[in-house]
Amino acid sequence: MNKLILTVLLTLVQCNYFVAPTEKLDKLLAVAVYFRHGDRSPAKSFPTDQFFTLDNFPMGFGQLTNKGINRHYELGQWFRDRYSTFLPEQYSPKDILVMSTDVDRTLMSAAANLAGLYPPRGWQVWNKDLPWRPTPIHTVARADDNVLAMKKSCPRWDKLYDESKSSEFYQQIDKEHAELYEYVSEQSGLNVTSTDEIRLIRSIFYCYRNFNESFIPSWAETLNQTELDYLAGLTYAGRTATGEMKRLRAGPFFNYLISYFYDVSNNVENKPKFLMFSSHDTELVSVLDAMGVNDISPVSFAATIIWEVKETTEGSKYVNLFYRKSDDELLNLTVPGCAFDCQLDDFKVLLEPVTVNPEKWEEECNSENSK
């Protein structure tokens, strides 16, 4: 072999740029994406916050900002690029099903995302001056939604959640951070007694950091961001603190998701190959936590969980799990007990403890002593 060629090849290997001559020929069967809405204005704030006014937030409180719209538009473009050979350029209900919680900011995020994913092409161009085409987004009332919004009444979960919040673990956390609670109370005018209020403060600052950083008060400069993130992360994780809580909160979602994977894998008629879920940070953490891959940290705007179901040339099906933690950070995740290329049957078995069908969920939710 020519010495120059050999030197180049060795250099590529050492730099991790070498690509094997053979690539996987596995077939992509289905994709499901679950994302948080884009940047929003604060839904509420603390008493000393002078910037929490409709003059500063004409879009309203808790509403998507222009930056949030653009962030999801760009995420839709990212989906288009990633799945260019899987998802046809022209929208068809045979290819994709989009579901959102019944909240303005999630519905708008899904719409912005779809604008990036499906710029009209060919016969779907209906206005040459407007590169957009309406795409259906499905939702149900929050009070009836135990799959995506996770808001349908579940007395058993409510009881377990109250017990979790008053547990020895959270009491110890409150003691260890009492000095922080006192300082934030004095500065904000808010009565900070637990991680719940810290999560709120941290969320407000995060909204301001992505909207107008000058709105963040000077007293916040003395706060330890790592400490705020950890305490906020504990608040989110508190909703799925036990195996039973994971099941009651995220179980109906996984029942829907895994059933969908098997339907597509078995070529069930009228099943789209792409599922899109538009939701919130709290619910996204519950999904991560139920899979055992939550890192106890707050969720960025437009953070996205991605499941890809593939089929080998021999016919076996497996799942790849990704987490687009931020706009420029895509992580490979592995469910505990499985490899990255997790066999679909193994994926189902590993998640059986936190998967429950609607009828069983109703029964367990109304039971005094569930599993």
Residues acting as catalytic residues: 37, 281
Identify the three-state secondary structure at position 277: strand
Identify the three-state secondary structure at position 69: helix
- Please list the residues that pair with 308 across neighbouring strands: 31, 320
Residues in the chain: 371
Cα four-point dihedral sign 87, 92, 94, 96: positive
Cβ atoms of 196 and 235 within 8 Å: the answer is yes
Tokens of 130: 């407007």
- Please list the residues that pair with 138 across neighbouring strands: 99
Identify the three-state secondary structure at position 152: coil
Tokens of 51: 């910037």
- CA distances 117 to 16, 90, 122, 134, 257, Å, are 32, 9, 15, 12, 22
